[in-house]
Structure 1
Amino acid sequence: MLIHFFAQNFRSLNNINFSMETGERLQQREDTNTFAHATPSVLKSIMFFGANGAGKTNIIDALRTMQQIITHPLAQAANFSTTYTPFLFGTEMTDKPTTFSLSFVAQNVAYFYDLAYTRERITSESLSAQINGTNVLYFVRELDRFANVPNSLKSVAAVTRPNELFLHRAYTAGDRHAANVVQWFANDLIFFTPTAELSKSMLTLLEDPQAKAKVRSFLQAADIKVQDLVVYKLENGERRLSVSHNIYAPSGSVAGMRPIPFSAESKGTQKMIMMALTVLTAQQARDRKVIVFDGFSDFLHEEVSGALLRLFNSAENRNQFILTTHTLSLLNAELRADQIFFVEKDFQGESQVYSLFDIKDVPNTQGFDRISNLYKFGTFGAIPDIDRDQMRQIL
């Protein structure tokens, strides 16, 4: 489970953080929208709203970049410039470290890991763990100086290069806590990327008749008229997916089925199939996954995206979801105040992130039926400032 994320000096993010811990004393929809009995109590989903260019995607990319650094250390060490993109709209942060911090639960242990790096090297790194109810500082690194390193890893610290993670060195040396952290980033943090090609694991899942039946039922429940999903092989051995639809005789009766290549389907149907496979794969796993959707409702009808969001917050769901969207109707999709985040840029180009729960003196939003109207009116900020007269003059 993800608890808290912090990013500094990354693109438009000079200093942002968000938490998936439940808001203090907020008990609304506790049995559905939260893991109330977990330690700590966390939300099943959060959703970021904001104007185009506010920085929502940069938040997702910061989390993804942290994952890439941890899970692909050799590529990172060879070329830090691919992931080092400091704050873009100021001069004072140029060449200063980018910092990422994340707290999460893996293998029933709460971890806090942070790292800072420049174009050339890792500048700092630390790992804390809650072991037997006590917070333990497992290791600290400042440039090439190490402290609090377990005896079993002191020889590893001595040979860790400036441009490589000590975390990954410890992982390859067989350290249990380092392995928990690396494997969580590799296996439990999932980024949904809608593309015209399905992954090998998704195609394998569709070859399971029971899994395919669940995906088909999921699509039909969303009013997407798919009759079958067939995985087939090309001459070169590559596997592809075709989507079968009914064809009809002039009388209106079903005359058979016609397969259509997955890549020829509408963007909405492609996305729904991939969403169904992503969620199903995560639900079948033993450990809770964190699934990240940037542009969650893109290409989806608002009724479908609303139904999906309610599914993510259902009592049956065991996973966490981090979502970004422009679909304002989702503000009324039975969300708690601590699940709603806003993103906006200030006059210096810096993205600001804040929760509805943290806004003081907000008008009554009981039932959430007024939130979208209050947002459109500008009560919460994070809306585009549109000059319609200037737009008309340009045309």
Structure 2
Amino acid sequence: MLLRFRVANVHSMRDEQELSFTVPAGQDGGPARTVALSSGKDIEVYPLVGIFGANASGKSNVLAALSKMRDAVLTSYAEWTSYREIPRQVFALDDTSEHDSSFFEVDFVAQDGVRWTYGFELGATRVEAEWLHAYPHGRRQVWFERDATRDEEYDFRGGRVQDRARLARTTRPNALFLSRAATDNHPQLTPIYRWFDQNLWLITPEHELREREAYTVRRLQDKQSRRRIEELLRVADLGISGTALEQQPGRTPTVRLKHSSGRLLDWSQESYGTRSWFALLGPMLLALDEGAVLLVDELDASLHPRFAAEVVRLFHDPAVNSRGAQLVFTSHDPSLLRTPSGSRLLDPGEIWLTEKDQDGATELYPLTSAEPGEREDLMSSYLAGAFGAVPDVTEGQIARRLLAARAMGAEAGQA
């Protein structure tokens, strides 16, 4: 399970920002899960976090940074050979960030209960630093540390990493040591690489919609998966009663949805909202089945708020989410902070906020830092600006600005 993500100088996040799934000591974690560590201690971890904020405040950039870290681990050794510089997206609104390194770090718990910390810093042309630490007994074990400014770049303490000298010698300056080790199926480091391969899947509203639709179609070929997908289509109240899978030799299967009228519509006739929900089902069920971390940008995009709320409930439900899957989502919709009955859909510790400072840099912070009252209506307080992270626009301001601009244009035309 993912415990924490730290990042700096990536997209709009200039200064170091942290996103945490862990419940602070002494606080009631509500829907948090108890995770047993190999050290014999337990830790309380949330099954999801939602990131809210104004337009262009950097919500999506948090997910993009997580995805960039995953991409770097999976592709740096094989694909960065052709780049003159390391592909980075640094903070672009000052004159210094392009010369600074980009920083990424995650803490996670592996299936055997061992907590790991892995991170790296990327410069323009080389990996400036990289490190891997384990906590099997609660104390830090340094597996390796890399610093490009030292004469001896790599430090392998305790001799824990097999074949370390050869791997260090054959790792390019612009590639990650972890990526290099995984190409040889390294027995100790490949499981860390696979954690990234099996987690941090990013879903955005516009990108890869057809690929996600096709993946959900493929899952329909499994009887058990088909029953679950059809039930989720029915419960969404889209007027759909089932699916019809059409297979032709040598071609990719296609699907048509059965409507309550009994008619089968061509896929192109389905609404964008129906297609978005269908495309989400395959990856979401895979994450629940595998216990993976799923990233969904704009969860409420093309989905009714009640659909988005049901996704939250799926990850909260320990019977459905029995393998410890986690969800990180962004949303503009404050109704996700409150159920129709007036109770809280999300625990305050699951709510994170983004806003930009006067220099355009994103600040990411938990709602709990505002110390909301135990019975406080989070949606009303959020909309009122009590927690920040809302647009700095007064009622009617946009219309007044538009009228003023029109008047100025008219005066200029008469001059």
TM-score with structure 2 length normalisation?
A: 0.85
Counterpart of 1:20 in structure 2 is 21
Paired residues of 2:54 and 2:355 also in contact (CA < 8 A): yes
Paired residues of 1:365 and 1:371 also in contact (CA < 8 A): no
Counterpart of 2:79 in structure 1 is 75
Q: Decide which of 300, 305, 312 is 1:302's aligned counterpart.
A: 305
Counterpart of 2:386 in structure 1 is 379
Identity across matched positions, percent: 25
Counterpart of 1:252 in structure 2 is none
- SS of match in other structure, 2:240: coil
Give the root-mean-square deviation of aligned CA atoms.
Answer: 2.2
CA, structure 1 residues 338+43, in 2 after alignment: closer, same or farther (shift >3 Å)? Answer: same
CA, structure 1 residues 151+278, in 2 after alignment: closer, same or farther (shift >3 Å)? Answer: closer
Instruction: Give the C-alpha shift of residue 235 in structure 1.
Output: 7.8
Letter in 1 for 2:253: R
Q: Decide which of 119, 126, 150 is 2:124's aligned counterpart.
A: 119
- 1:155 is aligned to 2:166: yes
Q: Extract unaligned runs of 5+ from structure 2.
A: 37-41, 339-343, 407-415
- 1:212 is aligned to 2:221: no
**Deviations, residues 124-162 of structure 1 (Å, cap 9, x unaligned):** 111111234432110011117100263531221122111
Aligned residue runs from structure 1 range 1-395, under 5 A: 1-14=1-14, 15-29=16-30, 33-38=31-36, 39-73=42-76, 74-79=78-83, 83-108=87-112, 109-143=114-148, 145-148=153-156, 150=161, 152-194=163-205, 195-199=208-212, 201-233=215-247, 237-247=251-261, 256-261=262-267, 263-285=268-290, 288-316=291-319, 317=321, 318-332=324-338, 333-360=344-371, 362=372, 364-366=373-375, 368=376, 370-386=377-393, 387-388=397-398, 389-394=400-405
- SS of match in other structure, 2:263: strand
Instruction: Give the C-alpha shift of residue 91 in structure 1.
Output: 1.4
CA, structure 1 residues 206+394, in 2 after alignment: closer, same or farther (shift >3 Å)? Answer: farther
CA, structure 1 residues 72+158, in 2 after alignment: closer, same or farther (shift >3 Å)? Answer: same
**Deviations, residues 253-286 of structure 1 (Å, cap 9, x unaligned):** xxx422321x44222111211222222222333x
Measured in 2, the distance between the counterparts of 1:162 and 1:18 equals: 29
Paired residues of 1:188 and 1:289 also in contact (CA < 8 A): yes
Letter in 2 for 1:210: Q
- SS of match in other structure, 2:88: coil
Paired residues of 1:21 and 1:40 also in contact (CA < 8 A): yes
- SS of match in other structure, 2:258: strand
Q: Extract unaligned runs of 5+ from structure 1.
A: 248-255
Measured in 2, the distance between the counterparts of 1:95 and 1:213 equals: 53
CA, structure 1 residues 379+114, in 2 after alignment: closer, same or farther (shift >3 Å)? Answer: same
CA, structure 1 residues 352+126, in 2 after alignment: closer, same or farther (shift >3 Å)? Answer: same
Flag the structure with higher strand content.
Answer: 1
Q: Which piece of structure 1 moves more, 17-26 or 168-177?
A: 168-177
